[in-house]
Structure 1
Amino acid sequence: MHDVCCFLSQNVPTNIGDHQVKVQVKSCALSPVDFKLYEDLKFEKEHVPVGREIAGVVLQVGPKVTFFQPDDEVVGILPLDAEQSGLCSIVVTDEYNLVQKPEKVSWVEAAAVIKDGLRAYTALHTLARMAAGQTVLVLDGAGPFGVLAIQLAHYHGVKVLATASSPEDQTFLEELRPSVARVIRVWDSKQDLVDSCLEETGGLGVDIIIDSGVRLYEEEPEAQRHCPHKHDLLTLLSVGGHWVTTEQHLQLDPPDSHILFLKAASLSFLNDEVWTTSRAKQGRYLRGCVKGCSTKLKHICWLWACV
């Protein structure tokens, strides 16, 4: 068992690494802790830090840091193996885990949205390779992850269909027009998800599906009654389409795989923690920033300033 650690009492190191940044934390987000992921990655830690999404002011930078300088306002995500919690007043982390915070975004907003923003960017850009003119279906569009996916897709010229799980979610999503081309009422038994998507796309299906949970069997718990069945998503996926799933236990039977084969479609699993756990991905949050490119975390912060 792991203990959730809110505060760590050790002193902040006086000397920091070449590529490290010391940050005075102004705000942090208390996202749920995935203990199973810690076990899968074999992180044998007695205490697990919380509040990993932080926003704050740079106090000190290492001698080889190139992206930041003291007094810069930054936002970022502490890695899974971080020794400090975001609830500490001061944290030390690698510069690759941070990005500049736009002036018009508050401390609370920056810390609250950075993780879902990164998930949306990873799903649409890195995994689905979205392009202008495509159609994307965002399931549970009224959730934090769904809203950011909608905004990001719309900005890049992608037609967005979104599902609403309740009348309140429907009202909220309809207020996002023209970002959302159509709201599909999955809470209403009279409206069918597959028929609605095929009707909206002229029978061709959607190019990208971003789910927030999938029913693997006909009989599922009440909490998953609004989640689509995997067969429905395979049916409404277009030729050459891409399905990005958050369901880590998704099981595809041979007939399911055959449908993907016939459509030359593909399936990706969304694990946003890959960016902070994989050595091959380290540093790519800010890749291209020197050339003025808006990528990864930088792109998300830039998007906040535009929306």
Structure 2
Amino acid sequence: MKAVVITKAGGPEVLQLQDVPAPELKSNEVMIKVKAAGINGADKMQRHGQYPVPPGGSLYPGLEVSGTIEEVGKEVKGWKAGDEVCALLVGGGYAERVNVPAGQLLPIPKGVSLVDATGLPEVSCTVWSVVFMAAKLQEGENFLIHGGSSGVGTFAIQMAKYKGAKVLVTAGSDEKLQACKELGADVAINYKSEDWVARVKHETGGKGADVILDVMGAPYLSKNTESLAPDGRLIVLGLQGGATGEINLGALLAKRATIFVLALRSRPLEQKAHIVEEVRRNVWPAIEAGKVKPVIDRTFELKDVVKAHEWVDSSGHIGKVLLLV
């Protein structure tokens, strides 16, 4: 089969479409003929050599796909060849075929195309597990999302509004801020031209954000701590700005704050299966009711993976970028 190989650590140019051996199917897995694969921040980190593949995982990038089941392992129940699915992966999505543990499969939501469904598994499992299962965002709470126009951000806006929270977002351009508003954000803040800490305080009546979803890491630690409400919860989901920084424990103690530093890819199979089932029960109904939708920026052919990663690296996208296989 053909798959995208990371030839060495570096920029988009290190990605090459090559002929590789097809993966061997395990008894608890299904083989998917891939229709499309989603591009995620973890793929970029892996490309740069900064995100080691978990033991036993595919060396090829790609953490989510949609497609058709071609073969079913002997222990798998409830799925059959010919079923159209989308799936959460540990890797290997940038390929013509990929094997997936059955517990990480999701049906295509009614009303969503097979291609568009590609953009759902990673963001839905991430947002539901960290924002609602871990941080327990509640109706009426203030929710601050950094990077509101990202794949995770656009999905988090919609789910939080669906659950009745007040949503504040930061983004770096008027176009991105407008897109966030159209998805339901109550407050959109340009972090390049505004003091977002002061704006968050103002928009919440001086209280601050009950939950903050952050992808920057170290550079935002102090400002996020300042922006938290009493009993606030800070979710660190990415380290785009760096991994090493200082934490004011006194400030956190005064606010009785909680920090979650969470990753999805490295979780055990049992945890991933539990998250996927929770998403199926709690998120899929919202999608099928038209309250939440995948936000797809654009698609590229698999052979144009270098161009696709160049576009993602430019940060010009709003929502998800997909590879058509």
Structure 1 position 150 matched with structure 2 position 157: yes
Q: What is the rounded CA distance, in whole Å, between the counterparts of 1:52 and 1:215 in structure 2?
A: 25
Alignment correspondent of 1:94: 101
- Give the alignment's TM-score, normalised by structure 2: 0.73
Identity, % of aligned positions: 22
Pairwise CA distance, 1:238: 0.7
Alignment correspondent of 1:251: 245
The 5-angstrom pairing of residues 221-260 of structure 1 reads 229-248=220-239, 249-253=243-247, 256-260=248-252
Cα distance change on mapping 1:302 and 1:7 into 2, 3 Å: farther
Alignment correspondent of 2:181: 174
Name the SS of the counterpart of 1:64 in structure 2. coil
Pairwise CA distance, 1:20: 1.9
Listed as ranges, the gaps of 5+ residues in structure 1 are: 217-228, 288-294
Letter of the aligned partner of 2:34 in structure 1? V
The 5-angstrom pairing of residues 1-307 of structure 1 reads 3=7, 6-7=17-18, 9-11=20-22, 13=24, 16-31=25-40, 32-33=43-44, 34=46, 35-38=49-52, 41=54, 43=55, 48-80=59-91, 85-176=92-183, 179-188=184-193, 191-214=194-217, 216=219, 229-248=220-239, 249-253=243-247, 256-275=248-267, 278-279=268-269, 281-287=271-277, 295-296=278-279, 299-305=282-288, 306=290, 307=292
After superposition, the C-alpha distances for 1:185-217 in whole angstroms (9 at most, x for unaligned) are: 3232xx42122212222211110001121453x
Pairwise CA distance, 1:236: 1.6
Q: What is the rounded CA distance, in whole Å, between the counterparts of 2:18 and 2:281 in structure 1?
A: 28
Name the SS of the counterpart of 1:183 in structure 2. strand
Q: What is the rounded CA distance, in whole Å, between the counterparts of 1:48 and 1:238 in structure 2?
A: 41
> Residues 241 and 265 of structure 1 are in contact (CA less than 8 Å); yes or no, is this contact kept in structure 2?
yes
Name the SS of the counterpart of 1:51 in structure 2. coil
Pairwise CA distance, 1:268: 0.9
Cα distance change on mapping 1:233 and 1:18 into 2, 3 Å: same
In our comparison, the structure showing a higher alpha carbon Rg is 1
Question: Using CA pairs below 8 Å that are at least 6 residues apart, which structure has the higher relative contact order?
Answer: 2
Cα distance change on mapping 1:102 and 1:7 into 2, 3 Å: farther
> Residues 129 and 275 of structure 2 are in contact (CA less than 8 Å); yes or no, is this contact kept in structure 1?
no
Letter of the aligned partner of 1:194 in structure 2? V
Letter of the aligned partner of 1:64 in structure 2? E
After superposition, the C-alpha distances for 1:25-80 in whole angstroms (9 at most, x for unaligned) are: 222224424232217x5x599x8212342111123323432332232211012224
Name the SS of the counterpart of 2:79 in structure 1. coil
Cα distance change on mapping 1:202 and 1:174 into 2, 3 Å: same
Q: What is the rounded CA distance, in whole Å, between the counterparts of 2:139 and 2:19 in structure 1?
A: 46
Pairwise CA distance, 1:302: 4.2
Alignment correspondent of 1:225: none
Letter of the aligned partner of 2:117 in structure 1? A
Q: What is the rounded CA distance, in whole Å, between the counterparts of 2:66 and 2:133 in structure 1?
A: 24
Q: What is the rounded CA distance, in whole Å, between the counterparts of 2:99 and 2:195 in structure 1?
A: 50
Listed as ranges, the gaps of 5+ residues in structure 2 are: 1-5, 8-14, 293-325
Q: What is the rounded CA distance, in whole Å, between the counterparts of 2:276 and 2:78 in structure 1?
A: 9
Name the SS of the counterpart of 1:125 in structure 2. helix
- Give the alignment's TM-score, normalised by structure 1: 0.77
Superposition CA RMSD, Å: 2.8
